[in-house]
A and B are shown apart, each in its own frame.
Chain A
Amino acid sequence: MSDHAVAETTDAHASHGHGHHEHGPFQAHHFETPKQQFDAGKFGMWLFLVQEVLFFSGLFVFYAIYRINHPEIFEWGHQALDTTYGAINTIVLLFSSLTMAWAVRCAQLGKKNGLVFFLVVTLACAGIFLGVKYVEYSAKFEHGYLWARYFNPTSDNPHVAEPPSISKEVDKVVEKVESDLGDHSAAAHDAHSAEGHHHGPVGPPPPNAGVFFSIYFTMTGLHAIHVIAGIVAITWILVRSVKGHFGPMYFGPVDYVGLYWHLVDLVWIYLFPMLYLIE
């Protein structure tokens, strides 16, 4: 056990694999080697992800229970969701996962510029995701497709006959994103137009239809909170990357935040078919 509690501020490159008595600037005093620190952090992060999985599992369990006991609610309610938005967000998140994984690779190889670039792209994707989410939520609020207590669909209400300004912006965003994505969203676009422009559920709502929107809002809402937390974490990593903190012997935080970001993506991979596709 070495005695130096105060980490020497040696050059970051001095600690490359030589002995464990020379601590790098970011090696905590109670770890013997950078490897031990990295492994501890990584295992800790995986445990945190395990915790996250179980945290979300509660929502998945109640989805399963309501889905099996009351399929009619889901068949009716999911028509209020726009598959195009869901598909766009899925692609955006998958892309951000790619850039995040790429950022980790850059950190591992010590490529600072690449790291900064890919983190910025990841952040941008997260922003787009939340933007689309905002548009979707506004549409739900507008039509009264809300959770149980406030569930009050107004699609046949004369007030919404003329689309308010927000809808026009929604359409503009949709058109733009759709043209950007090209043929990827072709299938989704067909589905979208097939349902008519003001897509919406057909027929009167079954009893307790609001529970579908309770599930929709709690699941996507909790996911969105995780996206926001991810944005904060990635921003922190970005600041440290610009300062040049990371290199081949110290990239743990980038890797851990990356793992978290992939988990957020993972949850969405399930949420998308569960809420938007399955009937």
Chain B
Amino acid sequence: MSSTAAHHDEEHGLAHAMPVRALLTVFTILVVLTVLTVSISNFIRAHEQFHAWGVPIAMFIATIKAILVVLYFMHLRYDKSLNNLIFFFCFAFVFLFMIFTLVDSLQYQTDIENYAAVQPETPAPAAAAPAKAP
């Protein structure tokens, strides 16, 4: 295990200590981004033609905020590469989980709609097949 690769004058003992100024700067950016995302949301609400941009912009800003928190408040930028690896690696699994499930769910929605069209009083898919194990 290599020592923490922090080239900073505030190197203390076991790990890197974040300078107060950096903390305050990050916090200010986070607050500005929050105000920004709320303003954009209001703007989009008022202007129908930008409707499709609402989700991507909001998620983009949220991701920037999340990355700032992870890198500076959580010190990950100054942390071991192993901790970086494991944390960012886990999002690959979240992505996998989401994509496969989403792809499948989008595919069978038409089946549900067709079923619901035939039986309007129960707008729901048929009960799944009985339990199955590995």
Contacts and interface: CB of A to CB of B under 8 A. Distances in A.
A54 interface: yes
A94 interface: yes
Given A61-B101, A65-B105, A100-B73, A255 B24 contact: no
A68 B102 CA distance: 9
Nearest to A34: B14
Contacts of B87: 46, 49-50, 53
Contacts, number: 159
Contacts of B35: 184, 187
A2 interface: no
A35 B1 CA distance: 11
Contacts of A98: 23-24, 26-27, 73
A193 to B, nearest CB: 12
Contacts of B38: 83, 87, 187-188, 191, 277
A279 B45 CA distance: 8
Given A270-B62, A278-B55, A69 B106 contact: yes
A69 B23 contact: no
A60 interface: yes
A279 to B, nearest CB: 6
Interface string B96-110: 011001100110010
B91 to A, nearest CB: 7
B94 A53 contact: yes
Contacts of A108: 12-15, 17
Contacts of B93: 54, 57
Nearest to B82: A43
Nearest to B28: A98
Interface of B: 1, 12-15, 17-18, 20, 23-24, 26-27, 30-31, 34-35, 37-39, 41-42, 44-45, 51, 54-55, 58-59, 61-62, 65-66, 69-70, 72-74, 79-80, 82-83, 86-87, 90-91, 93-94, 97-98, 101-102, 105-106, 109, 123
